[in-house]
Amino acid sequence: MPRYSGALAAVLLAMSRVAAPATLAQPAIPTLPTMKTEEGQTVIYDRYTWQRRELDKRLPLNLPWPDNEGTAIQAAFKAYGLDQPPVPATIPIPSRIMTDIYLVNTVPNLTYLIDAGPAGLVLVDPGLELNTESILKNVEKLGFSRSAIKWVVNTHAHLDHAWADAHFQRLGAKILIGRGDVAAVEKATDVTARSALPPAMAAAYPTFKVDWPVDDGEDLVLGNKTFRAIWTPGHTPGSTCYLLTIDGKNILFGGDTLLFDYRLGFQGNSYADDPAYLASLRKLAQFRATPSPAGKVRWDVLLPGHGAIVLDRAYLDVLKALRQVEWDVHTGAEIKALPFYDDDYRKLMFGRPTP
């Protein structure tokens, strides 16, 4: 793979004529700030998650949760000293998360770039079509060539994860998505959520033929990386998580199926299937990479579709999601995508004041 973009390669070549370098210089890649949770997890926070989680610790239980998106919650942040948070508004990009894994987009979803060696690059969930050029520029800022993107792997068909697929296919990438969501992107069905767009944009929603429908348990060998596909239907019919192991760490690409600290997939769509979601979370919690007892996977890193990124002990998030959805399904309660205003979640928070 051409490791460097054209312009950068030309500069490096010119430099090499002056003094023979031992190795090519890597561009400066920001290191992402991490924080420790009360449970000892190392987390890369976005501001949205951090502020609400901290407010959960400070706001007495006898006071109602302020409107989660409005001005009332901004006033509450100010009242509790959370209006100058030590966390940037969005996680900085482009940035390096760990060996061979980079972050290249955060709005409205998290897009990951994986260096799969000389064969090329993998993008996970490119997101909105309007993100395409900024993603390509971020890939170049990391020192890679935009033409090295060979595969786009999707966790599901929702437009905030897969709208840019058709664009990346035109640029030469192969598109992979769980078999259960293939029809959604090929026919732009309601599962893409395109009906949420203004009519003209919905009518122009790009369809394409999927290059590689992904099956449950399939090993996707992409360059020097192997992704194990784990079907996890529920949020959409074809939602799929992926296991990738790097440096002995088991990484979970969670999409909207598995997110940080009780955050869950939005289950308000007509095709959303809560019992299937529960079964999928149970499958993740019990997942074995091989049938042997040693094959039981301890999830270390969680790279979700939105929100905060978890760098260790990600099995805690798997168990939390399973516990919450199990309770909701068994009691017939609505599954809440965001936990912050849930009374049970508020009671869980560490060090909270008693009313």
Q: Which is nearer to Zn ion, 181 or 256 (CB)?
A: 256
Specify the 3-state DSSP secondary structure of 182.
helix
Beta strand spans in 233-291 (E): 240-246, 249-255
The minimum distance between CB 239 and Zn ion, in angstroms, equals 8
Q: Residues binding Zn ion: what is the number (CB under 5 A)?
A: 2
Binding segment for Zn ion among 83-91, 153-161, 197-205, 332-340 (CB under 5 A)?
Answer: 153-161
**Calpha distance 92→74 (Å, rounded):** 22
The minimum distance between CB 294 and Zn ion, in angstroms, equals 33
Task: Give residue 140's Cα distance to chain centre.
Answer: 21
Specify the 3-state DSSP secondary structure of 298.
coil
Query: Which of 52, 141, 158, 320 is in the footprint of Zn ion by CB under 5 A?
Result: 158
Specify the DSSP class assigned to residue 104: E
Specify the 3-state DSSP secondary structure of 2.
coil
The minimum distance between CB 277 and Zn ion, in angstroms, equals 12
**Calpha distance 198→157 (Å, rounded):** 18
Q: How far apart are the first and last CA of the chain?
A: 60
Q: Which is nearer to Zn ion, 41 or 240 (CB)?
A: 240
Query: Which of 129, 256, 300, 328 is in the footprint of Zn ion by CB under 5 A?
Result: 256
- Exposed e or buried b per residue across 50-66, where buried means at least 16 C-beta atoms within 10 angstroms of its C-beta: bbbbbbbebbeeeeebb
Q: Using the rule CB under 5 A, is 336 a contact of Zn ion? A: no
Q: Which is nearer to Zn ion, 158 or 313 (CB)?
A: 158
Q: Which is nearer to Zn ion, 256 or 300 (CB)?
A: 256
Binding segment for Zn ion among 26-34, 113-121, 154-162, 181-189 (CB under 5 A)?
Answer: 154-162
Q: Which is nearer to Zn ion, 100 or 256 (CB)?
A: 256
x/- mask, Zn ion, residues 105-144, rule CB under 5 A, reads ----------------------------------------
> Taking the CA of residue 229 as centre, how many other CA atoms within 13 Å lie in the half-sphere pointing to its CB?
26
Binding segment for Zn ion among 221-229, 250-258, 307-315, 345-353 (CB under 5 A)?
Answer: 250-258
Q: Which residue, 237, 238, 261, is CA-closest to 342? A: 261
Residues at the site binding Zn ion, with contacts judged by CB under 5 A: 158, 256
